[in-house]
Amino acid sequence: MSASVGNGMRASALDSERYRELQHGVPTFSFLSAEQNAFVASEVARLTLKQKAGQMTQVAMDLLFKGDTYVLTTPAEYDMDKVQRILGDLEVGSILNHPSNNWVGPEQWYQYMQLIQNKAMATTGVPVLFGQDAIHGANYIDGATLYAQPLGVAASFNKSLTEELAAMTAYQLKAASIPWNFSPAMDVGRNPAWPRTWESFGEDVYLNLTMGEAMLRGYQGNDVTADDKVVACLKHFTGYGSPLSGRDRSPAYIPERQLREYYLPQYANAIDKGALSVMINSGEINGVPTHANRWLLTDVLRGELGFEGLAVSDWEDVRFLNYRYRIAENLKAAVKLSVDAGMDMSMTAAFTDFPVLLKELVEEGSIPMARIDRSVARIIALKVKAGLYEQHVWNPADFEKFGSEDHAALSLQSAEEAIVLLKNDGLQLPLKNGQTIFLTGPTADNMRSLNGGWTYSWQGENGDKFLGDYHTIKEALQTKFDGRVQYAEGVSFSREQNIAQALELAKKTDVIVVCLGESSYTEIEGNIDNLDLPSDQRDYYDQLVALGKPIVLVMAAGRPRIMTDLAAKAQSVLYLPYPGPRAGDALANILSGDTNPSGRLPLTYPRAANAIVAYDHKTVEIVKNGHNPLFGFGHGLSYSTFTYGDLQLSSPELTGSNSVTVSVTVTNEGDRAGKHSVLLFSKDEYASITPNMRRLRAFEKLELAPGASQRVTFTIDADDLSFIDIDHNRITEPGEFTLMVGDKKATLNYVAK
């Protein structure tokens, strides 16, 4: 097989004008000054081919330390021979991750980074770009404050909170001299079994777009060199969240129209707002691994979306073109495919053959030097933009707010707003004074189920060890309901349990709080055969129900594990989408009534594992055709009742490029203060492509005192009502649209003019 086979979603000749223009030579960057652009060009001219190949390489930090890769000595110590090999001989330009099985604070990171940067400056004279996955706080830096995972952040429907959380993460990373974060993930998760569902902002493209933009603002702000700013990395470009089977990195089949409707707008928006890097989708779409998809990586990303920044591969993905995807018969062919497609930097992880093979390909004339210069220029431009030539490290002593009370408060808020109250029959919650509680279940005394993966390790298995000072649900409830809580695990993820003894304890209490769900996982390790909850949890639950006591079901899980029968037998149901280390406290506050819940579902909670139909389904997908969720997208209860006045349109007609405003008055009819997210949906009544039942178009979160009212105004233009037509163009067709907020509706007529 030749290296050019399987190379793109559409055939576009390698030597086409467009390809040359997009791929070759040193560009100028609109995000740099003229002086900075001249500097980038001079750096590209100065570097040797070997150094350029090194710049395009990113290795795992483990390769610098004593011990075996992924099992380092503790404490981790640099192996100076390895440092010489990676930074001296191979002249690698980028490093990621953290030293395996070692977790250290900012002081130690400062030392680590100083050595790396000094070595790089002494050899190539180009600073290293160091990146990390800090997806819910700086989760590899000891002492950093973690918070809700992205699915929980999405459940908050709170844009300003999202931005603050991201800014906090950027500050923590800078305190450890790390200038680049592999976040936000904006993978619209359309298959809930996908084990990275919780890493995304849920199933809706607008929610992903909006939360992604808020995070981007928090990470990068206006000056990415600032102490509380880092370079963001949009991931995973694109279509990663919808593998057909629900298993990670398994084939996705996405027609181009769908791709443009659900998987490009969030990137287009973030690129427009200044995102400086993207990471490439590790999966395959329509039989083409994205790392070899020149149409997507060059024609679309560069040509259409106008992306000027850096496109980094995902973990080991260039090699995977050879032995996982089998579209390249050897590693050299894999390198050529990915570089031809438009990748700038290869995350080679533990391997170092990429720069060697790349250099050979250029020497053999298989890849033009001008193509390499293009990518190297992008990499240098990013290093310039991040201020790394001027400042390589940041003194942790200057970061007083690291691990502060302010950060802890933000983490608690994220947890409180991530928790979704799904059912509360007979207003069982908040719990009544004096009620005794039997607390049980595998997620009740376990930090992993509250934090998920990317928590002091990739799979999050160290959550309990490193977050020991935080409270599990059990610890938090025992503190909050002093003397009123009896606990037995009942059924466990890992241990044999005495269920009979647990049931005996349960009999003596007034209410049963049963915490079910999942432990932590991510990526392929989190694949499941069945979205249903495991049978041991279900059986145990039924035995508890048989006691006839009121049940509060707490579902702590990174994806909507099916709980239809269970929810029917509970008086109250809460969903905890990995709300982070303060989730125990947050839940205690909600159960006691100290906090009024305000989370809303960022995805559809299915009724059955084979009934996976998202909220924005087609009109034919009514109940009999699949959409009959247990709890719908946007569902979420409060202890207050929020009511809406009629929708007021500034005009019943929208013409051409004008806009109209939609206002609604929201009233808190309850007797306690509460937060509430107002969600505006639209429906295109007739369209040339079968229209969606509803699409989220705008949202805003309010906080209202008891009895208080507030008017919310949204602005809508034709673009907000658009869709991708049969020819793959974004259009808005004239005609009638229904706008909806809760139970209120208004009709808007669009006239193209």
CA 477 to CA 27: how far, in whole Å? Answer: 58
Least distance to ligand BGC from the beta carbon of 140, Å?
10
Nearer to ligand BGC, 191 or 282 (CB): 282
- By CB under 6 A, is residue 187 in contact with ligand BGC? no
Q: Which amino acid, 209?
A: L
DSSP state of 96: E
Q: Are 511 and 433 in contact (CB under 8 A)?
A: no
Look at residues 402, 457, 393 and name the one whose alpha carbon lies nearest to residue 109: 393
- The least distance separating ligand BGC from the CB of residue 326, rounded to whole angstroms, comes to 20
Residue 315 in the binding site for ligand BGC (CB under 6 A): yes
CB of 182 or CB of 456, closer to ligand BGC: 182
Which of positions 269-298 make contact with ligand BGC (CB under 6 A)?
279, 282
Three-state SS for 10? coil
Distance in angstroms between the alpha carbons of the first and the last residue of the chain: 54
Q: Is 203 a residue that touches ligand BGC (CB under 6 A)? A: no
Query: Is 233 or 476 the residue whose CB approaches ligand BGC more closely?
Result: 233
State the minimum distance, in angstroms, from the CB of residue 457 to ligand BGC: 11
Q: Specify the residue, 97 or 145, whose C-beta has the smaller distance to ligand BGC.
A: 97
Please state the closest distance from residue 98 (CB atom) to ligand BGC, in A: 10
Residue type, 549: K
Nearer to ligand BGC, 182 or 631 (CB): 182
- What is the per-residue DSSP string for 141-191? BTTPPP---HHHHHHHT-HHHHHHHHHHHHHHHHHTT--EE---B-----S
Of 518-537, binders to ligand BGC (CB under 6 A) are 523
681 near ligand BGC (CB under 6 A): no
Among 182, 201, 466, 714, the residue binding ligand BGC under the rule CB under 6 A is 182
119-138 residues near ligand BGC, rule: CB under 6 A: 133
585 binding ligand BGC? (CB under 6 A) = no
Number of residues this chain uses to bind ligand BGC (CB under 6 A)? 10
Structure-token pair, residue 592: 């006691």
Handedness of CA 147, 152, 154, 157 (dihedral sign): negative
- Can you give the three-state secondary structure of 470-481, one letter per residue? CCCHHHHHHHHC
Residue 320 is a binding residue for ligand BGC (CB under 6 A) = no
Q: Is there binding between residue 180 and ligand BGC (CB under 6 A)?
A: no
Least spacing, CB of residue 298 vs ligand BGC, in Å: 22
User: Shortest distance, CB of residue 525 to ligand BGC, whole angstroms?
Assistant: 10
Q: Does 457 bind ligand BGC (CB under 6 A)?
A: no
CB burial class (10 A; 0-12, 13-18, 19+) of residue 537?
A: buried
For residues 214 and 186, give the distance between their C-alpha atoms in angstroms, rounded to a whole number: 12
For ligand BGC, the closer of residues 133 and 475 by Cβ is 133
The residues annotated as belonging to the active site are: 314
- Of 208 and 677, nearer to ligand BGC (C-beta) is 208
Task: Looking at residues 295 to 314 of the shown chain, list those that interact with ligand BGC (rule: CB under 6 A).
Answer: 314
Binding track, positions 85-114, relative to ligand BGC; x by CB under 6 A: -----------xx-----------------
Which residue do the tokens 């497609």 mark? 341
Q: For residues 617 and 474, what is the distance between their CA atoms, to the nearest angstrom?
A: 39
Treating both helix axes as pointing N-terminal to C-terminal, what angle do 34-46 and 369-385 enclose, rounded to 10 degrees?
A: 130
Crossing angle between the packed helical segments 353-363 and 369-385, to the nearest 10 degrees: 140
Find the shortest distance in angstroms from Cβ 215 to ligand BGC: 15
Residues near ligand BGC (CB under 6 A) are: 96-97, 133, 182, 235, 279, 282, 314-315, 523
